[in-house]
Amino acid sequence: MADTPLPLAEALTHAAAAINQPSTLQETLDSIVQATRTSVPGFDHVGISVTHRDGTIETRSGTGQLVWDLDTLQYELHEGPCYESIRDDEDVVAEDIRHDQRWPRYVPRAVQHGLRSQLGLHLYDDGRTIGGLNLYSTTSEEIAPDAIHAARLFATHASIALGHAQKHHQLSEAIASRKVIGQAIGIVMERYGIDEDRAFQFLVRASSSSNHKLRDVATELVDATNESARRG
């Protein structure tokens, strides 16, 4: 069961400190769900889903196994507050969910897990949906208006934090890709006595013919070269 909720202003202040402290994307996600759980009254489980470019949805953090079980169920069935909030870019409120007719396949199985009410809040950055904040209650069928208000304020706060974290993560990935591709170019230049442009085109052709990403081809070449050097 959730801890006694803090006053909203204080809760958001604590949440901001918790979310801004981590340095990695995963730490940020973990801080978001923990801060939401202690900030919003009436919910004992919180999870966060992240959308990928190919349209898939993945649970990246949760406060308990119930989150993973019910999130996965909604992804598989393509229905439920979590899935609907992300698909339709809107917040979804589900009080006394056992009597809710909107999700005929999801509800009976969720109730078997002990679910009594649920909130699905979409998270967005620069006008695009980047995930969802999912709040589950196994203790109450009712969702108080102040809890919905607090959750929506917190979802906005979480959207900003997650958006920044994703941008930082993507930048780090781009820097890592550039580094390994540069190393691979140097290896090809030395091995075949060719210039930088031809070495790069060599890697591009290898990527195309093998149907692997350029970074993966470069990583394999660098790893093989390092392994050969270690063997002497």
pTM for the full model?
A: 0.70
Q: What is the pLDDT of residue 18?
A: 57
Q: What are the chain's domains?
A: 8-166 (3.30.450.40), 172-231 (1.10.10.10)
The pLDDT of residue 5? 52
Beta carbons within 10 angstroms of residue 76's beta carbon: 12
Residue-wise pLDDT for 88-116, tens only, equals: 989 999 999 999 999 999 999 999 999 99
All residue ranges of the chain with pLDDT < 70 are: 1-23, 232
* pLDDT value of position 2: 45
pLDDT at 159: 83
Taking the CA atoms of residue 26, residue 32, residue 34 and residue 35 in that order, the dihedral angle to the nearest 10 degrees is: 150
How many beta carbons lie within 10 A of that of residue 200, not counting itself?
A: 18
Separation CA 148–CA 75 (nearest Å): 23
Read off the amino acid at residue 106: Y
Q: Can you read off the two tokens belonging to residue 160? A: 């900003």
